[in-house]
Structure 1
């Protein structure tokens, strides 16, 4: 049964004790899945539904009482609840990161702290191509603030939605809830459709996109509008509530919550939360609301926000300190207990006094001052840290190039060991920016892009030779190598690249972009059309897991042979199965993982040399000795950091390869004349 429309119109905001219990269950799920399963639980989606439910209730209550909502009072009220704990955690993270994190993670962490303070961390992660679910990524201690950022953006958006609904209802002379129902229904349908679409074409971006999550908040708002009209039979309410809780707990175990979120799969935790809330409106003797609304669960629920904020940085620092990505059961339990303890301290010592500031006189200035006092230390500490890094970067760029011979240290037989106090090129704190400029100027084919970007470098006016650099992200660094001598040698370079894609004719293989096949076809046609003197690309994948060259690659090169396309094939650099850039930090230099064996990653003979009936148009150049001298593959050679991330060559090291590749390339080009 449902209540009448008139009862709907009289609906009021009221305390729902089971929501506190639902919050702590969701927060514990997030922590448990992060700590032991390293995957997504669906708990954050519950927070979004609950937030939509409660903020809609709060805003409509203010409209019913005052006829409008004061924006500044609304924002200050939110800030009192959100900022104290968030800013305390962020300040702790800044200080701890300086002493704990490898220097190669500093710049990223600083950017993300600023993004978290200003509530755009989700967009920061999206724009830096972060895959939240990739276990091989170095985890930022503030990465979990993506959800808080979406929530903060949502609160501001919801204020304007309510005001639009109020303005529209006044003009149409109809009840605001009816207008709001239309708006929220439209938002739900549009956002849900967009979420399904974007998850299919670009799941990592979809995970952080605010627009793919709006429907979850909107469903929470719609539930508030109708929840008092829902009347469930005794047995149905009990079953629905417990079914919702069980579904929520089992979500991450039964579904591919990672790779398919937040599309239609997110309906599972969202519907689970709705079932629990609907059951709470129809209480029964043994219903789930009795458990979730019990005194212990309500008490724990008051610390769920802090648990969410604290557990992740502790996990991230644990990984670094212990040198592992696995957490024993007892250590994980301790992390949760410590998170609860910190949450209790911050809630009672910092948050409650600020939330307790009330009264009409000087209310806003007092609250604003208190919050400013919380924010300023974070901003100052992060700014000072950022400035010190910039100074170090400037100092390293002033040093003589002779101090950073890179690959030439091997060529000239120089000493390869280094003093850990020696400056490195690039500065470890600026390592993630030490990439070819193609990343900055749109030279790579983007997801779903119809045309094929082709950028030109080197001697553009009167080139003596033309070469094409074609392939994926492991080909891109060699542009830095070619650029060191292209103009002097009269070489024009065409850059045809796509990240997460291999030039193997079919675009197939692990971790390939969905439209890699289409790009391969376009790239092949463009290579034939340009009719350059030579194309430069890789001959293999570079991982021990792929001991042979893909048959598709061999067939592609054979097809190009029929078009008289000559190939300067470069054996791929070693691709360790962990983040090699972390080994550039002096604290990790003796880490067992950093002792990469040449026999394992660049065994001889090369994979291409073992291909039977090879196309005659391919000449392979094996530069493995410049990555793995003396049987090992270090992270630093000639005071130059070799990798800017897990296994992609840094631009600085690529440039140091210039004199070596120059000799081989010119000899090859001259032989074709």
Structure 2
């Protein structure tokens, strides 16, 4: 399944600590008459902005459940969190309060941690009963990263860039923005309190912190750098960019900049809105608020944030949010947002966000539906609201007590137990899987009589049914040696990373070059190199088949790093002068059955041929639209979890034409070693074929060694037979 960035999986929390402060400006100095430097005369709350949170969470939930698009709500939350939390920090620093960062972090964790941890424990328990074991390993990693607030990096690293909710999506995938916001809070505390501490040390008798306008300049400069980085990331690797804290930071820092500007313009704790906006008429503020609110509501219908956020188009919801902040609390829109309904929804926004997404995913997993219908969606919303209300009453409110009440102690204890249970359980399961896959990989061989794999199709070896190898739950870790040893370049790397396998001292060389679909052949090539005396030099890059005259695409986005990497590889290959380059020769059609050979593949082959290098073009193996291991774990069969051959492959290998047109090109086709006449199964000869949607297990590729050896020997003339 080819997937794209998450649909609006942002946190609704703004982290409660920040929201409860919710100032509209920050006083530069302690209010006259304060009893201590740390005592703060808090400015009035912006109840309309709390209501805006209610609108935003409603948009997020509706768009998640029924529309499958980005609503822009996540960007509203990020901007508000920057405004709220930074204003609170600035007020503390200006008032001469303590700059102890631990106190501030503990305060945030006390409000945020318990509801998050209890939700994670509930998800873990539900997953044991509702999700196949094949998904537990990935989910375990995500649960642990959720506990420690780095789930956004976990999702980015594993390319969890989903297009929309479906049963295969992680039930905690939405927590990436909770991690982003928490990381921002640590960063903001370090910047504001750190600079205030330096100021107090350098000038003990002067102002207690830098001026707010100085902070405004600093925040805006950070926002500009982050914005440029995000705009570049949209073009380079959107799946990573979507989760990247650095790419998201500009949205939060613009909110922080406005908070600093408000602080700079304030002259006292009781300054009214009309004094705060002396140059803007009430009519202009009203129009600004209406425009801002309208843009937030319609954003998701007109902007494809899946492929464009947090790039420049994210300015639309961000600027709309800033417009509502700047418009003030005395507009008609603000009055509407301040009513009891929106205020109540805003008050349960964080737990509502926490609960609605896993409930949606579990509903889809149990029902087998690809999307929620009207009644199902209403049921999810009702259950989410009920759980959110209970979470506020039983979890959030007790933890807000400033003293160690029995309720606070009980909730904190439960949260700690939840964190330990989730972490220990997840790590324990992953250790079990690691041991299972190590046992498979350490053997390095396949027992032909019990697990013939591809030999069942190519050599007619039949075996009685036996436990599949590798086990379903460990299949995703049955990886080629190049991945295990870090010999494949990631999406951002343009350098031609190279490793050598096979007979490393041999005079003959085959270069293995291309994407991960070229990579999974290294297991068989390594064995053949040792057997027949040639070395295998790898040039591999994630998602990057060789291309010279056409911009490669990574999903819907251009992939310029791939183009640069290919040029470097071809230059290195020309200098190396190997006998052959082994690479993929076909790819699946995107909108029709079968496979084809792109013209940009043949352009590469012509360049290699011109350099005197032979080409071994292997037909790509069939792609599935789902993880076969999940299908098998849910009770499917090897046939039902496979794909009809006519859907995956043309009747004739499309690369054969190049065999007649291009001297030095040989077309290799192992389709008959993966598929029979009618179907490409998920398992063959007691060996699992796929480790994910479209990559072969290293174990199955090992059983392909004999047939690949026959074809390479025939093409090169280096040997005869297998």
Residue in 2 that maps onto 1:527: 573
Q: 1:24 to 1:106 in 2, by over 3 A?
A: same
Give 1:68 shift: 1.7
Report if aligned partners of 2:509, 2:535 keep a CA contact under 8 Å in 1: yes
SS in 1 for 2:307: coil
Q: 1:116 to 1:376 in 2, by over 3 A?
A: same
What is the CA–CA distance in structure 2 between the aligned matches of 1:370 and 1:562, rounded to whole Å? 68
Residue in 2 that maps onto 1:577: 625
Give 1:477 shift: 0.5
Residue in 2 that maps onto 1:596: 643
What is the CA–CA distance in structure 1 between the aligned matches of 2:570 and 2:103, rounded to whole Å? 60
TM-score by length of 2: 0.84
Report if aligned partners of 2:690, 2:696 keep a CA contact under 8 Å in 1: yes
Q: 1:296 to 1:409 in 2, by over 3 A?
A: same
- The worse-fitting range, judged by mean Cα deviation, of 383-392 and 482-491 is 383-392
Residue in 2 that maps onto 1:180: 215
Aligned partner (choices 348, 357, 364) of residue 312 of structure 1:
357
Residue in 2 that maps onto 1:628: 675
What is the CA–CA distance in structure 2 between the aligned matches of 1:607 and 1:502, rounded to whole Å? 17
Give 1:118 shift: 0.4
Report if aligned partners of 1:21, 1:298 keep a CA contact under 8 Å in 2: yes
Give 1:8 shift: 8.9
Give 1:379 shift: 2.8
Q: 1:559 to 1:134 in 2, by over 3 A?
A: farther
Q: What is the correspondence of 1:10-409 to structure 2 with a 5 Å cutoff? A: 12-63=42-93, 67-133=97-163, 138-170=168-200, 171-172=202-203, 173-174=206-207, 176=209, 177-178=211-212, 179-227=214-262, 229-231=276-278, 232-281=280-329, 283-284=330-331, 287-356=332-401, 358-359=402-403, 369=413, 371-390=415-434, 393=437, 401-402=446-447, 403-409=450-456
What is the CA–CA distance in structure 2 between the aligned matches of 1:397 and 1:547, rounded to whole Å? 32
Unaligned runs of 5+ in 1: none
Q: 1:180 to 1:360 in 2, by over 3 A?
A: farther
SS in 2 for 1:535: strand
Q: 1:166 to 1:435 in 2, by over 3 A?
A: same
What is the CA–CA distance in structure 2 between the aligned matches of 1:437 and 1:643, rounded to whole Å? 16
- The worse-fitting range, judged by mean Cα deviation, of 184-193 and 238-247 is 184-193
Aligned partner (choices 650, 659, 663) of residue 706 of structure 2:
659
Q: 1:133 to 1:514 in 2, by over 3 A?
A: farther
Q: What is the correspondence of 1:414-433 to structure 2 with a 5 Å cutoff? A: 414-415=461-462, 418=465, 423-433=467-477
- The worse-fitting range, judged by mean Cα deviation, of 191-200 and 101-110 is 191-200
Give 1:211 shift: 1.9
What is the CA–CA distance in structure 2 between the aligned matches of 1:672 and 1:489, rounded to whole Å? 8
Give 1:372 shift: 2.3
**CA displacement, residues 394-439 of structure 1 (integer Å, 9 cap, x when unaligned):** 6766999424332123234345785xxx533223222222222222
Give 1:529 shift: 3.0
Give 1:242 shift: 1.9
Residue in 2 that maps onto 1:552: 600
What is the CA–CA distance in structure 2 between the aligned matches of 1:195 and 1:81, rounded to whole Å? 30
What is the CA–CA distance in structure 1 between the aligned matches of 2:408 and 2:683, rounded to whole Å? 55
TM-score by length of 1: 0.89
What is the CA–CA distance in structure 2 between the aligned matches of 1:248 and 1:648, rounded to whole Å? 41
Report if aligned partners of 1:45, 1:266 keep a CA contact under 8 Å in 2: yes
Unaligned runs of 5+ in 2: 1-23, 32-40, 267-275
Aligned partner (choices 510, 515, 523) of residue 480 of structure 1:
523
- The worse-fitting range, judged by mean Cα deviation, of 271-280 and 194-203 is 194-203
What is the CA–CA distance in structure 1 between the aligned matches of 2:369 and 2:639, rounded to whole Å? 11
SS in 1 for 2:519: coil
What is the CA–CA distance in structure 1 between the aligned matches of 2:593 and 2:616, rounded to whole Å? 24
Report if aligned partners of 2:137, 2:429 keep a CA contact under 8 Å in 1: no
Query: RMSD in angstroms over aligned alpha carbons?
Result: 3.2
What is the CA–CA distance in structure 2 between the aligned matches of 1:233 and 1:538, rounded to whole Å? 65
Q: What is the correspondence of 1:415-494 to structure 2 with a 5 Å cutoff? A: 415=462, 418=465, 423-447=467-491, 449=493, 451-461=495-505, 463=506, 465-494=508-537
Give 1:667 shift: 3.7
